[in-house]
Structure 1
Amino acid sequence: MSERNSAAAAVTIRPLGLEQSAAATRLWEEAGLTRPWNPPAEDFARAVGGETSAVLGAFDGDELVGTAMVGHDGHRGWIYYLAVAETRRGSGLGRQLNDAAEEWMRERGVPKVQLMVRSTNAGVVDFYERLGYEDGEVVVLGKWLR
């Protein structure tokens, strides 16, 4: 993925490596995206170590100010952990990260992108609807294999 720069938000977006795990997971915790039963550092390590996944980071200089985890199964792409530092919210950085995640999918020939939002997070649903996402009218079921 090529680096992306934006004068508007003054950030560079690029894939992260394992060395950025602590900074990324701290940002996810500050954004309220983590849950005790789902260790974020393990999610991060799986994503950056996978052949069909990555964690994109938005940097203002050396400071990590946003992330988006991306992955795909060849047909459907997924966006997780789209997080923006509190000081940068409302700046358009969330849209930039989403655009970078979608570009990552396009570069890999993925035709559809999906994401999950907790039903209690109405503000985030509104954000994604403004970006063109629609309710897929599906129920997501899950089962832990641990």
Structure 2
Amino acid sequence: MKIRSFILEDGEAVIRLWNECGLVRPWNDPRKDIERKLTTQPELFLVSEKNGVVVGSAMIGYEGHRGWVYYLAVDPACQGQGIGQALMQEAENRLIERGCPKIQLLVRSNNSKVLAFYEKLGYEVGDVLMLGKRLIPDE
């Protein structure tokens, strides 16, 4: 398995992966999410490949205060092989290189399998509420 930065040719494979993992929502156009990420810290958009096939992704950001991880996905046929853990380790390493003091991520509260994955990696549930406001609709 190899972890590298996303390239344009990965687009359709990554979107397929996100759909297979249930990460795509009707109000978020995955193509627009990719386009937007490629304008800001594109080197922090990671994919993992196995035998030349994209099997994982992680979209990372750092604004100078906290690092964030979005779209962590592993092909369901490859889950349990350490790919997600390797992507998270690479995300942490790249953020540490930038002097990032803390990493955060969002998980749907009913996704117990994913919550257990992150807890095994040392992540803790914080006592916070997430608030959001759509500024530009993805139609």
Same fold (TM over 0.5): yes
| Partner AA of 1:106 in structure 2 | I
Q: Distance in 2 between matches of 1:29 and 1:52?
A: 21
Per-residue displacement from partner, 1:98-129 (whole Å, max 9, x unpaired)?
11111111111111100000111111011101
Q: Equivalent residue for 1:37?
A: 27
Superposed, which structure 2 residues align to 1:1-146 within 5 Å?
Answer: 11-51=1-41, 54-146=44-136
Task: Find the aligned partners of 1:23 and 1:52 in 2 and give their Cα distance.
Answer: 17
Counterpart residue identity of residue 58, structure 1? S
Structure 1 runs (4+) deviating above 2 angstroms are 51-54
In structure 2, the gaps of 5 or more residues are: none
Q: Which amino acid aligns with 1:97?
A: L
- Cα distance in 2 between the residues matched to 1:75 and 1:18: 29
Aligned length: 136
Output one character per residue of 1:21-63: Cα deviation in whole Å (capped at 9) or x when no partner: 1111110010001101111111112112213763100011210
What amino acid maps onto 1:86 in structure 2? Answer: P
Deviations 1:43-99 (A, max 9, x none): 112112213763100011210010111001111000011100111101111111111
Identity %: 48
